[in-house]
């Protein structure tokens, strides 16, 4: 890991966010990988493995709801925390950032819809 980067380093297996916790920020992976999963009836259901430049927790910036999933480090991972104020400032500086985030969120919704349809058949 590059010591000059900003962000917090999490060790493999360490929790970054927990399902059900309140959230007011999003996260951007600078280096490493993180696993997104939900707990359902005592079992873990993996939703995604995220890597460099992926983001998670963004729904908290928009809806102020409880976290909908857990995220933990797969191996050592450096994660930058972005609060709502910083996020809005970056959108003003680079409006295309908003488009890229909506694009990624739309892709995630399509993948989720496809998975739901697959499970119903």
Per-residue pLDDT of the chain (121 residues; tens, 9 = 90+): 554 558 999 999 999 999 999 998 999 999 999 999 999 888 999 999 999 999 999 988 888 889 999 999 999 999 999 999 999 999 999 999 889 889 988 998 898 888 888 888 7
The domain containing residue 41 runs over which residues?
8-120
Reported pTM: 0.82
CATH code: domain of residue 69: 2.60.120.10
- Separation CA 70–CA 35 (nearest Å): 8
Inside any domain, residue 3: no
How high is the pLDDT of residue 1? 52
Count of the separate structural domains present in the chain: 1
Characterize the bridge pairing of strands 70-73 and 55-56: unpaired
Q: Are 35 and 82 in contact, with CB atoms under 8 Å apart?
A: no
Inside any domain, residue 1: no
Inside any domain, residue 15: yes
């Amino acid at each position: 890991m590059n010591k000059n980067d900003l962000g917090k380093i999490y060790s493999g297996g360490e929790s970054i966010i927990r399902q059900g916790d309140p959230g007011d920020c999003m996260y951007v992976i600078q280096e490493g990988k993180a696993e997104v999963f939900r707990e359902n009836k005592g079992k873990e259901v993996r939703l995604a493995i995220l890597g460099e430049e992926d983001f998670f927790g963004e729904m908290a910036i928009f809806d102020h709801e409880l976290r909908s999933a857990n995220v933990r480090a797969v191996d050592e991972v450096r994660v930058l925390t972005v609060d709502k104020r910083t996020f809005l400032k970056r959108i003003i500086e680079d409006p295309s950032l908003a488009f890229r985030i909506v694009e990624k969120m739309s892709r995630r919704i399509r993948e989720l819809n496809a998975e739901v349809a697959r499970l119903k058949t």
